[in-house]
Amino acid sequence: MEIERKFLVLNEDWKVGAVGTFLHQGYLNRHPQRSVRVRVKGQQAFLTIKGMVSEISRFEYEYPVPLADAEHMLKELCEPPTLEKTRYLVEYEGMCWEIDEFHGDNAGLVVAEIELENEEQSFAKPPWLGEEVSQDSRYLNINLSQHPYCQW
């Protein structure tokens, strides 16, 4: 079970000392209730199946796949367009934040995500954290691939 909350980012203060990894991902299936994603992360590749439980909770199954297979799926099988972003891991008060800086048609969008143990778990909010967008479906990667940030 993936329990995740998303926030916009106010500034680049989080970026000090952060190292990012480039991600390229696409969708083999973009059904609103369940999706199948292919992701290349550096020199690793994964096939991920997600099923919606609530606005912030999803069933998630992730499996490693050969890099060459994933690159072929991204090019030949995924529904266009695919999505590119750089992901940074930033620790704040004992919690790991994933900061996604989007590229291409989603350039200018920076989103911070935190994974939680349960939907009620409390956490410290970093000073660079902005508005929560967990319940705004426009910010789901699956929707950003179809309706990019530049078209809003």
Q: Look at residue 149 in the predicted model and tell me its pLDDT.
A: 97
Read off the pLDDT of residues 143-152 as tens digits, 9 standing for 90 and up.
Answer: 999 999 999 9
In this prediction, residue 32 has a pLDDT band, given cuts at 50, 70 and 90, of confident
Structural domain count, the chain: 1
Q: Is 27 a catalytic residue?
A: yes
CA dist., res. 145 & res. 109, Å (int): 13
For the chain, give the mean pLDDT.
96
Radius of gyration of the chain (CA): 15
CATH of the domain at 102: 2.40.320.10
Read off the pLDDT of residues 10-22 as tens digits, 9 standing for 90 and up.
Answer: 999 999 889 899 9
Determine which one of 27, 61, 92, 139 is catalytic: 27
Range of the domain at 65: 2-151
Read off the pLDDT of residues 97-132 as tens digits, 9 standing for 90 and up.
Answer: 999 999 999 999 999 999 999 999 999 999 999 999
Element (H, E) at 60: strand 57-64
